[in-house]
Amino acid sequence: MAPAYRSRSLVRRILLNPAALGYLGLLAATGLFVAANVLFNDSADDLVLAALLFLPTLPTGLLFVSAGEWAAVGMAASGLFQAVLLGAVWNWLAQWRQNRNRRRRPSAPTS
């Protein structure tokens, strides 16, 4: 079993990077925009605005289309899942780039 500090470090590396935070920020901004429009505007376009919440979570959000009252929870879970995936890809690319640069550096001449 992995120590607790390693799992916290893994979560920190995966969720606290520019890709994951940017995606979560996009989701939060979309949610705030939709909430403000629904609360302060009287229009029949509320269903169209609900589709705006659905668009950023599209690939995994399709699993929760017919979830009924659990659709909001499903979209939040799919957004978090996609943020974790983006963070993992960011972390992998950063490690790959670091290893590639380490291999390219010439060794110091020995005299």
pLDDT (tens digit, 9 = 90+) per residue, 31-84? 898 888 888 877 777 777 777 878 888 888 778 777 777 877 888 888 999 999
Band the pLDDT of 6: cuts 50, 70, 90.
low
Reported pTM:
0.74
Band the pLDDT of 22: cuts 50, 70, 90.
very high
- Dihedral angle of Cα 69, 33, 14, 91, to the nearest 10 degrees: 130
